[in-house]
Amino acid sequence: MVIYISGLYSGTNPQPGVGIARSLREAFPDATLIGVEYSKRCSGIHWTDFNDIWLNRPWQELDLDFHARDIIRLLDAGNLFISANDLEVLWLAQILPDGHPNLLTPPADALKAVAKPGVTGHGGLPVKIPVYVSTELPDWELHAFCRAHNWKVWLKGPYYEAIRITTWADLEVTRDRLSKAWHTEKLFLQAHVSGYEESVAIAAYKGKLLHAVLMRKKDITEISKTWAGDINPVPSNILKPLEEIIRRLNWSGGGELEMVRDADEQLWLLEWNPRFPAWIHGASLAGHNLSAHLVAGATGQVTPVANRPRTKEFTRVVLEIPVKSQFPLNPLPEPFAGRVGHSMKHPSGLLAFAGKLHDRAASFPLIADAMSIDAHQKAAIPETYLDDLNHISHGIPETPAFVFMPKTAAALFQKAAEIAESASTDRITVRHGYSIKTNPDRRLIGMALDHGFLAEAISPLEVRRAIDTGYHPNQVILNGPGKWWRKEALPSEPLKAVFSDSIKDLERVLDAVEQGDLSAETIGIRLRPPNIDSRFGIPIHSPDAFEELINATMRIPEHIRFGIHFHMASSNTGVGQWMHLLRAMVQWCQTIEKLSGRVVTLLDIGGGWFPDDWEHRASERFESVVSLVTALLPNVTELISEPGKAIAQPSMALAMQILEVQDPPTDSGGLREVVVDGSIAELPMHFFYPHRMVHIDQKGRWQTLGRGNVQLLGRLCMEHDVVATHVSLPEDVQPGDLILFCDAGAYDKSMSYVFGHG
Amino acid sequence: MFLDTVKHIAIEKGTGAPIYAPWSQFPHTLIAHHGAACCDRAEHWLEGMDISQLSEASVYSGPRWLLEHFEWGPLTHPIHWCEAVRRKSLDCGALAAMTLRCFHIRGVDAYPAQIVQEYSQSALLHWERKWQDEESSTHWLQDNLIYHECVAMITANKTVKVWDSSSGWWLSPNSRRGYGGIRALRIHTPDYAEKGIMTWENMPVKLNEWQVIPVAE
Alpha-carbon Rg for chain B, nearest whole angstrom, is: 17
User: For B129-159, b where at least 16 C-beta lie within 10 A, e where not — what string?
Assistant: eebeeeebeeebbbebbbbbbbbbbbbeeee
Give the pTM: 0.92
Q: What does DSSP say about strands B145-155 and B159-164: parallel, antiparallel, or unpaired?
A: antiparallel
Selection from A757, A716, A715, A718 nearest residue A739 by Cα: A715
The mean per-residue pLDDT over the stretch A498-520 comes to 94
Q: Please confirm whether the linkage preceding A158 is cis (ω < 30° from 0).
A: no
DSSP letter at B12 equals B
The mean per-residue pLDDT over the stretch A415-442 comes to 96
Residue B15 is predicted with a pLDDT of 62
Residue B5 is predicted with a pLDDT of 35
What is the Cα–Cα distance from B103 to B81, expressed in whole angstroms?
17
Residue A52: pLDDT band with limits 50, 70, 90: very high
DSSP letter at A1 equals -
Contact A591 B47 (CB under 8 A): yes
Residue A345 is predicted with a pLDDT of 62
Query: Nearest CA to CA, how far is B141 from chain A (Å)?
Result: 27
Q: Pick left, alpha or beta for residue A489 (phi over 0 → left; psi -120 to 50 → alpha; otherwise beta).
A: alpha
Chain B residue with minimum CA distance to A531: B53
Residue A165 is predicted with a pLDDT of 96
Phi, psi of B190 (to 5 degrees): -60, -25
CB-based contact, A265 to chain B, within 8 Å: yes
What is the Cα–Cα distance from A721 to A715, expressed in whole angstroms?
8
Cα–Cα distances in angstroms (integers) from residue A129 to residues A113, A649, B140, in the given order: 14, 34, 46
DSSP letter at A324 equals P
The mean per-residue pLDDT over the stretch A610-614 comes to 92
Contact A546 B65 (CB under 8 A): no
The mean per-residue pLDDT over the stretch A613-636 comes to 94
The mean per-residue pLDDT over the stretch A614-620 comes to 89
Contact B45 A543 (CB under 8 A): yes
Alpha-helical (H) ranges within A372-491 are 383-392, 406-423, 442-450, 460-468
Mean pLDDT taken over chain A: 92
Selection from A48, A84, A106 nearest residue A278 by Cα: A84
What is the Cα–Cα distance from B211 to A447, expressed in whole angstroms?
72
- List chain A residues with CB under 8 Å of B56: 150, 576-577, 580
Q: What does DSSP say about strands A702-704 and B169-171: parallel, antiparallel, or unpaired?
A: unpaired
CB-based contact, A320 to chain B, within 8 Å: no
Quote the percentage of chain A above a pLDDT of 70. 97
Residue A397 is predicted with a pLDDT of 73
Contact A540 B47 (CB under 8 A): no
What is the Cα–Cα distance from A709 to A285, expressed in whole angstroms?
52
What is the Cα–Cα distance from A583 to A579, expressed in whole angstroms?
6
Q: What is the mean pLDDT of each run of 10 residues along chain B (217 residues)?
A: 36 70 95 97 97 93 96 96 97 98 95 96 96 95 96 90 96 84 92 79 91 79
Interface of A with B in 512-571 (CB under 8 A): 529-531, 540-541, 543-544, 546-547, 550
Q: What does DSSP say about strands A80-82 and A32-37: parallel, antiparallel, or unpaired?
A: unpaired
User: What DSSP element (H or E) covers A194?
Assistant: none
The mean per-residue pLDDT over the stretch A679-695 comes to 94
Question: How many residues in total does chain B contain?
Answer: 217
Q: Show the 3-state SS of A510-559.
A: HHHHHCCCCCEEEEEEEEECCCCCCCCCEECCCHHHHHHHHHHHHCCCCC
Chain B residue with minimum CA distance to A528: B52
Quote the percentage of chain A above a pLDDT of 90. 78
**Residue A641 reports pLDDT greater than 50:** yes
Residue A126: pLDDT band with limits 50, 70, 90: very high
Q: Are A265 and A287 in contact (CB under 8 A)?
A: no
Residue A340 is predicted with a pLDDT of 76
Chain B residue with minimum CA distance to A582: B52
Instruction: Give the dihedral sign, CA A428/A432/A437/A440.
Output: negative
- Of the two residues A667 and A516, the one the predictor is more confident about is A516
The mean per-residue pLDDT over the stretch A129-144 comes to 95
Residue A154 is predicted with a pLDDT of 97
What 3-state class would DSSP assign to A268?
A: strand
Q: Which of A530, A531, A595 sits opposite B40 (nearest CB)?
A: A595
The mean per-residue pLDDT over the stretch A113-140 comes to 94
Query: Nearest CA to CA, how far is B44 from chain A (Å)?
Result: 7
Chain A residue with minimum CA distance to B106: A584
Residue A69: pLDDT band with limits 50, 70, 90: very high
The mean per-residue pLDDT over the stretch A654-678 comes to 89
Q: Are A318 and A44 in contact (CB under 8 A)?
A: no
A332-384 residue pLDDT tens? 888 887 777 766 667 788 888 888 888 887 777 777 777 666 666 788 888 88
CB-based contact, A595 to chain B, within 8 Å: yes
User: What DSSP element (H or E) covers A146?
Assistant: helix A139-148
Contact B45 A546 (CB under 8 A): yes
For residue A172, what are the contacts with CB-CB under 8 A and spacing of at least 6? A725
What is the Cα–Cα distance from A443 to A456, expressed in whole angstroms?
16
How many contacts (CB atoms, under 8 Å) link A and B?
67
Interface of A with B in 66-105 (CB under 8 A): none
What ipTM was assigned to the predicted interfaces of this complex?
Answer: 0.89
Q: Please confirm whether the linkage preceding A138 is cis (ω < 30° from 0).
A: no
Q: Which of A150, A546, A595 sits opposite B56 (nearest CB)?
A: A150
